[in-house]
Amino acid sequence: ATVPLIPAVVDAPKDDDKGKKKAPAKKGKGTAPAILTDEIDPSAEHPFVANSTQAHVTVTFATALTRLPQSRPRPDLQPTDLIPTRLRAPKRPMDATKTFAAEIESLTQRIVKEYREHAASSSENNGVVDDNNNNGEANGEELRASFLNYLQSSGQAHAYKQLLIPTVQAVVKEKFVRQPNPSKEELNKVTNELYTYLTDTMHATIHRLFHTAEKQQRTTRSSLDGMSPSERWKRRAMEAEVMREYGLAAKYHQERLGSVNPEAAASSNNSSDDSLPNIWTEYAEFSLRVRDALKAEQAYREALALDYAHLPSLIGYGLLLLNSNRYQEAEVFLQSAVDLQPNMLTWGCLALLYDMKALSLPDTPQSEAQRLQFVRESKYSITQATRPSSESSSSSSPSTEATASDAYLHISRHCVELYLEDPANLSLVRCTASDTVELLYATIYYQTEQYDDAVATLSKIVDTNAAATAPRILYGDVLYAMGNHAEAEAMYNTAMRIDPFCGSGPSYVRLGNMCASLGKYRDALAAFISGAKVWPCGLTWLGVGIAYYRMEDMLRAEQALNQSNILNNLNPKTWAFIALLCLRQRREDEADQAFNQAIKQGLDDAFLIAEVGVEQLRIGRARVAEMCFRRSITVADDVNTHMQLGRALCVMKRFGEAREEFHFVASTTTSEAQRAKAEEQLLTIPSTA
């Protein structure tokens, strides 16, 4: 420290000393006079002050006056210590034929490249050689002669042959049986077979190489506009989940995992949607939505075993462990996520961890120090979460500074998406009250099937914000789950009047199904068409096809059903409605094929099976109709189906069995009109039958 020197003030003479005689100063010994000193004037400026004289003083304390800053506590373990590494599948050695084909492909590309350069620089050929030259046989012969002349004159042919000798030797060792002392005839036979085999392989390789564009075009047309098998299985799983067929959705997710080539996935970038870690993570998120935490944990561990730096898996698994109160393990994965990518979400999740650890401590004096440490770490994490990143600070666009409430709101959204209600509730408590917070609370109530609380919360939001569409869509979902279809339809329609495309794909599907069940096929058609624009999938196009079919517009119905079948050919209802459409148009063979495919895919809709039987009976195919009715009764016993079965038996003149069916209907039905019809049918059966 630098301290200015202030001169001491000389005390004035005391009053008591007045009047006293001062003793004369003693003279020094010798002849030298005494040292003469000036009297100090207290009122004058001190020389130290006048010259700004300063002194440097260093103070050292034996103990610190305040608590010294300490490094943040970090877990002793890493994700690699908790999850064993998933070993990659060993690469199988490529057989000799594939090696030969790869060599041929590489050499062909090299030869073509060199010849193009030669032709471009040659005065005899203007321009680049066109592989798709269609100028006649003469040009083709000239090109062939020029190409062969180039190979022979440049000496490249012999060099290329020498490069293929080791590969050809490997083919001989692998594919052809050798004898110790072959005769000349046997040697010639093996040589001819080898020549034929290598020539065929070479031709197939060159043909595949020069028809890559056509092959890609055909593959694009046959693979649903370029969709990979993984994307198709993902779409099918989403459709099954919307229809609440969770077992089928889980099966599709597993099929998606099996559709990925492990070797290709190992070499691909893990940021792509088709990478194995991403697929395992999406399977874990699906398992959380269906409340299967054990499967979700297994899926997250599989994803991390493949890639320990997979950020969505680190965050998701950490929050899952946090939801299960496994704080020590959760800290390992959440801290790794922060180290990998420090942002609002990762730091916020770490802050949430310390908040939950502080709340889990017992309320005793012994735990107070540890609680204060957790609170301090939570505040530090939130400070880091709300700190503007370098990317946002370097951007020219102005950005508002994030607050702790914004960070907790971001965390709660992520937890709600993962169906982890406990961390979401704790985050929402720390958020500033707003309609967004209330909407997240309502979403949690909806996910946990607390429909009354969800309705009460959403009613307040809807009353205070007349232009909000998201609360109304969620309100419609809640009412649909409660079975109040009329109110749900009104709420959906109100939201879509504000914004025609405000809903999600599942919301449009629910609205369309409600309208179709009430016989409002035009409204159902409008809902499904809007859904197809937002979420083009087999489910929305199936709804469009059903609406057109009920409206007797067979041409548009067939187009929509075909589009649905292209997008998802595993939906049995699509095949069943295609069968109904074909029966309406008297295309019996196609109808039989479609219905057999529907049964093969597991059609379990008893009423739809019975409807196919009614159409079969209408066109005079009573035997096939009987099979449909009996299958429908096996799935779900219904008196209407028994009534139709009795009519089919009457057409086949099996009156005894028909009488039993009509008796069953008359004795079990609760409808007087249906009982009267059954008794009327009994009267029409001959008594001698």
Give me 418's structure tokens. Answer: 């993962």
pLDDT, mean over the chain:
83
CA dist., res. 322 & res. 326, Å (int) = 6
Cβ(538)–Cβ(571) below 8 Å: yes
Same domain as 381, residue 236: yes
Taking residues 36-64, report their average pLDDT: 77
pLDDT for position 131: 47
Q: Round to whole Å and give the CA distance between 109 and 209.
A: 9
Residues 240, 201 share a domain? no
Segment of 163-167, 209-213, 423-427 carrying the highest mean pLDDT: 423-427
Q: In whole angstroms, give the CA distance from residue 336 to residue 672.
A: 70
Is pLDDT larger for residue 209 or for residue 291?
291
Could you tell me the pLDDT band of residue 91, with boundaries at 50, 70 and 90?
A: low
Kindly tell me if the per-residue pLDDT of 190 is higher than 80: no
- pLDDT of 189 over the 90 cut: no
Residues 274 and 360 in one domain: yes
Pairwise CA distance, residues 258 & 395, whole Å = 43
* Percentage of the chain lying above the pLDDT 90 cut: 54
* Shared-domain flag, residues 407 and 339: yes
Name the more confident of 5 and 301.
301
Q: Is residue 100 one of the residues assigned to a domain?
A: yes
Q: Locate 567 and state its tokens.
A: 């997008």
Q: What is the mean pLDDT of residues 307-316?
A: 95
CATH code at 315?
A: 1.25.40.10
DSSP code for 652: T
Is 307's pLDDT higher than 50? yes
Domain count, the chain: 2
Measured between alpha carbons, how far is 448 from 457 in angstroms, rounded to an integer?
Answer: 14
Instruction: Based on the fold, state whether residues 190 and 309 are members of the same structural domain.
Output: no
Per-residue model confidence as pLDDT tens digits over 547-592? 999 999 999 999 999 999 999 999 999 999 999 999 999 999 999 9
Indicate whether 364 and 266 sit together in one domain: yes
Whether residue 132 is predicted with pLDDT greater than 60 in this model: the reply is no
In this structure, which amino acid lies at residue 379?
A: K
Q: Are residues 280 and 208 in the same domain?
A: no
Is the pLDDT at 484 greater than 80, yes or no?
yes
Q: Are residues 182 and 259 in the same domain?
A: no
Question: How far is 17 from 23, CA to CA, in rounded Å?
Answer: 13
| pLDDT value at residue 542 | 96
Domain boundary residue, one of 186, 212, 238: 212
Measured between alpha carbons, how far is 665 from 668 in angstroms, rounded to an integer?
Answer: 5
Do 446 and 478 contact (CB within 8 A), yes or no? yes
| pLDDT attached to residue 111 | 80
Q: Phi/psi of residue 55, each to 5°?
A: -130, 140
pLDDT, tens digit (0-9, with 9 covering 90-100), for 326-367:
999 999 999 999 999 999 999 999 999 999 999 999 988 888
Q: Which residues contact 216 (CB under 8 A, 6 or more apart)?
A: none
381 and 353, same structural domain?
A: yes
Answer yes or no: do 109 and 179 share one domain. yes
Q: At what angle do helices 311-323 and 344-360 cross, to 10 degrees?
A: 20
Is residue 384 in some structural domain? yes
Q: Check pLDDT > 50 for residue 99.
A: yes
Please say which residue of 179, 212, 245 terminates a domain.
212
Residue 14 has pLDDT above 70, yes or no: no
What is the rounded average pLDDT of the residues 170-186? 73
Of 300-309, 394-403, 429-438, 641-650, which range is least confident?
394-403
Does the structure show a pLDDT above 90 at 165? Answer: no
How many angstroms from the chain centroid is the CA of residue 498? 29
Note whether residue 182 is domain-resident.
Answer: yes
Is 346 inside any structural domain?
A: yes
Q: What percent of the chain has pLDDT over 70?
A: 82
pLDDT of residue 177: 63
Q: What is the pLDDT of residues 261-285, one digit of tens each?
A: 665 555 455 556 678 999 999 999 9
- Type and span of the H or E element at 54: strand 54-56
- Structural domain boundaries, residue 311: 229-389+402-411
Asked if 152 and 243 sit in the same domain, the reply is no
pLDDT of residue 281: 96
- Of 111-120, 536-545, 643-652, the range with the lowest mean pLDDT is 111-120
DSSP annotation of 2 reads E
The answer to whether residue 44 is domain-embedded is no
Q: Quick one: 204 and 246 in the same domain?
A: no
Q: Which of 359, 381, 411 is the last residue of a domain?
A: 411
Residue 206 lies in a domain: yes
Is the sign of the CA dihedral 226, 229, 230, 236 positive or negative? positive
Position 146 in a domain: yes
Q: Is 274 within a domain?
A: yes
Give the pLDDT of residue 157.
Answer: 75
* Per-residue pLDDT tens over the stretch 360-395: 999 888 889 899 999 999 999 999 999 886 444 444
Higher pLDDT, 188 or 627: 627
Q: Which of 50-59, 126-135, 172-181, 509-518 has the highest mean pLDDT?
A: 509-518
